[in-house]
Homo-oligomer: A and B are copies of this chain.
Amino acid sequence: MTAAQETPAGPFPAHVENAGAGGRVVLVCEHASNTIPAAWGDLGLTEAQRHAHIAWDPGALGLARGLMRRLDAVLVHAPVSRLVYDCNRAPDMAGAMPARSEVHDIPGNQSIGPAERHRRTQAIYLPFHDALHGCIAGRIALGLAPVMVTIHSFTPVYFDQPRAVEFGVIHDHDPTLARAVVEVARERTGLRTELNAPYSAADDVTHSLRLHATPYALQNVMLEIRNDLIATPAAEEAMAEILAPVLTEALARISLRVKAG
């Protein structure tokens, strides 16, 4: 990988869609893309691996765009595969530039020294989080009371084990919105919905929320949808049609409780 690592790389700015949105929700999709920039070659992976869930969250970007349109939300998404840099991980976490993902070794990530970790942090992680911070802080300044919602998908079979959960709702420090989403989803959808499944903050999956929502005491939640349920554009749209009113109702219930409280 020496030659590839000498190729100039980036920076790769985050994509921001509907930046002037009137709604409160800021959607975030750290695993939107399976793109591996030329500087990192193919990381030693087969084409099948580069299209598998280890490289990105299939369906997440399409679902996020469906939610964006229905909620008049902003959408911030990463332009590079999580296998080059997982923007939902701090630079010292093993998962930021994983040497192995599920059952797959990642050859291009086997011997990453400090200089290469620093290069990827500068090229991918910082441009993503600078853009997201700008969006969040700008909307706070405008008095828009932003709500941060990260959109992910998970594989239905992990280490050969099928997963029954269909909709996982994960929180960082403040569980308020996550609990309201679970409550509404169980009442109004047929989705098998679980709190803090298939992962939780203890698995270091709430890094983006910790950086941008927790310090400002913003309402926030991480949504995980099983990727077989959003495997086509039509399925992504159908899921957005189900989940947009769940988010709206969950936020409305929180507001009512604050007023009543």
Which of A102-110, A118-126, A236-244 participates in binding chain B?
A118-126
A15 to chain B, nearest CB (A): 18
| Complex Cα spacing A215 to B216, Å | 12
> Is A122 a contact of B140 with CB atoms below 8 Å?
no
Counting every copy of the chain, the complex holds: 2
Residues on the B chain within 8 Å of A138, using CB: 91, 118, 121-122, 126
> Is B126 a contact of A142 with CB atoms below 8 Å?
no
| Residue with the greatest number of chain B CB neighbours at <10 A, chosen from A122, A138, A142, A215 | A215
A198-238 interface bits toward B, Cβ cutoff 8 Å, 1 = contact, 0 = none: 00000000010011001110000000000000000000000
| Complex Cα spacing A133 to B125, Å | 11
Residues on the B chain within 8 Å of A214, using CB: 210, 214-215
| Complex Cα spacing A118 to B115, Å | 36
Contact of A90 with B by CB under 8 A:
yes
Enumerate 18 A-B pairs (CB-CB under 8 Å) in ascending A order. Answer: A90-B137, A91-B137, A91-B140, A92-B216, A114-B143, A115-B142, A117-B141, A121-B138, A121-B141, A122-B138, A129-B133, A129-B137, A130-B130, A130-B133, A210-B214, A210-B215, A211-B211, A211-B215
* 4 shortest interchain CB distances as A-B pairs: A91-B141, A121-B141, A210-B215, A117-B141
